[in-house]
Amino acid sequence: MELTPLAGIAAAALYLISSVLVLLPVRRGERIERKSRVLLPAVAGAVVHLALAMHGIVAVDALNLDFMNALTLTAWLMVTLWLTLAFRRPVESLGIAVLPVAAATVLTGSFHNGAGAGTQLELQTHVFFSVSAYGMLALSALQAAVLSIQSRQLHNHKPGGFIRALPPLSTMEQLLFSMISAGFVLLTLALLSGFMFLEDMFAQHVVHKTVLSIAAWILFGILLYGRARYGWRGKRAVKWTISAFVLLLLAYFGSKFVMEFLIGNPPAG
């Protein structure tokens, strides 16, 4: 077997080890006391994951960000953002969802030989902000889903072990809106850099991506305004977060999937 698939298997295994180490105390309703022991396998997995992602993406004077490479890079960024938060904030439980998804992605990506169109170096700023925004807002959507489950079980007076391991509902909501705020800033920078560096953001092959991204940006903006002005929270915050993220998911990966697999015309970036 070639080195790249072996590295993909190693990264996936490290992610799964860390996810199990997170899951065990959470199922018992216990807080994770020694975070470093639980998170270090994921850190090692992220290092291998990044090497694999760069191996597939970086070409001479260009970046190959076809569907699979973009998905691999976004999964790596989600893990990295989660790790950064988890060492400082009580969001370890998100790893139960983030790490298996990243494991599947890096494993699949390690067998991928991309031949998509390259992205010129002058567009790297736009690519960086875009992928960062998707990663952060994906974590926000996961946090919203966990918050919804937590709220429902507390309302029904059925707090299982998983719920007992979570921070209070108010803390979970604060974390959610901190993630959304950071993601909104990154998405704003992604859109601005796109208008600066792309010749026409409303050209036929990218208009759907632009319109859906702007729609998601508007929804996230309204949600943040509603939170600041009217104190929006609970079910409303969850619904708006997930709805906006679905639009963003369709904007980027939906458009890439259609262009590359259905039409056979991979777009740059």
What's the rounded mean pLDDT across residues 178-198? 92
Mean pLDDT in residue range 222-240? 94
Averaged pLDDT for residues 198-218: 82
Higher per-residue pLDDT: 166 or 77: 77
Give me the torsion for CA of 59, 80, 206, 105, rounded to 10°.
80
pLDDT band at 41 (very low <50, low <70, confident <90, very high): very high
Least Cα distance to 136 among 82, 188, 87 occurs for 82
Least confident piece of the model among 67-71, 84-88, 92-96, 209-213: 67-71
Q: Give the pLDDT score at 1.
A: 44
Q: What is the pLDDT of residues 115-160, one digit of tens each?
A: 545 556 567 788 888 889 999 999 999 999 999 988 888 887 666 6
pLDDT at 195: 87
Asked if the model's pLDDT at residue 11 lies above 70, the reply is yes
Least confidently predicted of 225-229, 239-243, 260-264: 260-264
Please give the pLDDT value at position 198: 75
Closest CA to 261 of 80, 90, 109, 67: 67
Higher pLDDT, 30 or 235: 235
Distances (CA, A) of 174 to 169, 178, 228: 9, 6, 12
Location of structure tokens 């977060």: 241
CA dist list (Å): 117 to 2, 147, 173, 267: 24, 39, 40, 7
At 143 the pLDDT is 94
Q: Say if residues 64 and 56 touch (Cβ distance below 8 Å).
A: yes
SS3 state of residue 27: helix
Q: Regarding predicted confidence, which is higher, 45 or 123?
A: 45
Q: Which residue has the higher pLDDT, 269 or 239?
A: 239
Nearest to 9 by CA among 114, 110, 113, 112: 110
Provide the pLDDT confidence category of residue 59 given band limits of 50, 70 and 90. Answer: low
Q: Say if residue 239's pLDDT is above 90.
A: yes
More confident residue, 201 or 83: 83
